[in-house]
């Protein structure tokens, strides 16, 4: 099955510091780097590097457009549905990394431009059973329209609600999978998921809004899923984190990849946790995401069945 990723493409501008500066404070950093990112593009790269037939759907702009497209192509993502817009810059993310954690500031740029025509052109060849993966770094009308088109085609829809933003009941009802982290889950439900009881409560509240399956990433506590009334829990794979920038995107891309291959939920979760554990040991976004071979080697070393 194919995976269509409708979402953002950003150029990340990254600098490392000893700690996050206070208001009005200037700190000296080091290791400045630029690297292609954006939640949509990161998840597309994760899917492609980990084995999926991945199609990116989005827009790039005047600055950094060539670099963003070249990176996607390098990692095996199909880019025929990425539109060029010369009147604006590509999306920009300024990332400050301190102690293995990060703070991110965004300028949407060309990510404001995905529209119905772009989505129609991209999904015209999609089939029932293909996957549609979205995030919240492009305009809400485009997200809602893509979900509606996918539902009409019988595609399986996955919404990664990052960064968290208000969603209508109609949008939520179009989601086969909803994949927040803990903070995002709390944003939508008012419940902070930390154990089976609270995770089930989150899933129940989202289910009332029409979401069919809920997968919550729990950071160093792994991930949990409620699907068909069943509860699934997977531990995080131990790793020494140096940069968590693309960890969540790797997880989502990996999870959807294994589902698209017909894997069951538990295997897909273990695969996603394994891939993410490799990502956090490397600096950067797309270049930090492991290949399928690297993820499988990590799983074999740690005795994880994926």
pLDDT of 255-289, one tens digit each?
999 999 999 999 999 999 999 999 999 988 899 99
Q: What is the largest CA-CA distance in the chain?
A: 53
Region 2-302: CATH code:
3.40.1190.20
Query: Is the pTM here over 0.75, yes or no?
Result: yes
Residue 100 pLDDT exceeds 80: no
- Of 12, 221, 249, 264, which one is the catalytic site residue? 249
Among the residue ranges 96-100, 230-234, 277-281, 286-290, the one predicted with the least confidence is 96-100
Mean of pLDDT values over 121-140: 97
Residue 79 pLDDT exceeds 90: yes
pLDDT-derived band at 95 (thresholds 50, 70, 90) equals confident
Q: Mean pLDDT over all residues of the chain?
A: 95
pLDDT-derived band at 306 (thresholds 50, 70, 90) equals confident
Mean of pLDDT values over 99-103: 79
The two three-digit tokens of residue 90, written as one number: 């590509």
Residue 217 pLDDT exceeds 90: yes
Among the residue ranges 57-66, 94-103, 141-150, the one predicted with the least confidence is 94-103
pLDDT of residue 189: 97
**Region of 154 on the Ramachandran plot (φ > 0 left; ψ -120 to 50 alpha; else beta):** left
Give me the half-sphere count of Cα atoms (radius 13 Å) on the Cβ side of residue 37.
Answer: 28
Q: Is 18 exposed, middle or buried (0-12, 13-18, 19+ CB in 10 A)?
A: exposed
β strands within the chain, DSSP E: 2-6, 10-17, 30-37, 53-60, 78-84, 91-98, 101-107, 131-134, 156-159, 177-178, 213-217, 223-227, 230-234
The two three-digit tokens of residue 116, written as one number: 């119905």
Is the Cα torsion angle 29, 8, 266, 231 positive or negative in sign? positive
Residue 80 pLDDT exceeds 80: yes
Would residue 264 show up in a list of annotated catalytic residues for this protein?
no
Mean of pLDDT values over 247-259: 97
């Amino acid at each position: 099955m194919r995976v269509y990723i409708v979402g953002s493409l950003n150029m990340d501008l990254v600098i490392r510091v000893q700690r996050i500066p206070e208001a009005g404070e200037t700190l000296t950093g080091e290791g400045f780097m630029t690297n292609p990112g954006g939640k949509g593009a990161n998840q597309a790269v994760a899917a492609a590097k980990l084995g999926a037939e991945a199609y990116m759907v989005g827009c790039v702009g005047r600055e950094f457009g060539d670099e963003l497209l070249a990176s996607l192509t390098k990692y095996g993502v199909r880019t025929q549905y990425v539109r060029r817009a010369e009147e604006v810059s590509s999306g920009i993310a300024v990332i400050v990394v301190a102690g293995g954690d990060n703070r991110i500031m965004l300028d949407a740029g060309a990510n404001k431009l995905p529209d119905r025509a772009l989505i129609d052109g991209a999904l015209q060849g999609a089939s029932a059973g293909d996957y549609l993966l979205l995030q919240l770094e492009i305009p809400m009308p485009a997200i809602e329209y893509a979900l509606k088109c996918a539902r009409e085609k019988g595609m399986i829809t996955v919404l990664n609600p990052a960064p968290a933003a208000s969603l209508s009941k109609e949008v939520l009802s179009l989601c086969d999978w909803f994949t927040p982290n803990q903070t995002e889950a709390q944003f939508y439900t008012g419940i902070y998921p930390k154990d089976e009881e609270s995770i089930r409560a989150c899933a129940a509240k989202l289910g009332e809004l029409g979401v069919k399956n809920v997968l919550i990433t729990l950071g160093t506590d792994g991930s949990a899923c409620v699907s068909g009334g069943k509860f699934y829990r997977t531990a995080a794979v131990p790793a020494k984190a140096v940069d968590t920038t693309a960890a969540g995107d790797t997880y989502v891309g990996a999870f959807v990849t294994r589902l698209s291959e017909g894997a069951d939920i538990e295997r897909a979760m273990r695969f996603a946790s394994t891939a993410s554990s490799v990502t956090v040991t490397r600096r950067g976004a797309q270049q930090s995401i492991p290949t399928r071979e690297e993820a499988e080697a990590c799983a074999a070393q740690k005795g994880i069945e994926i």
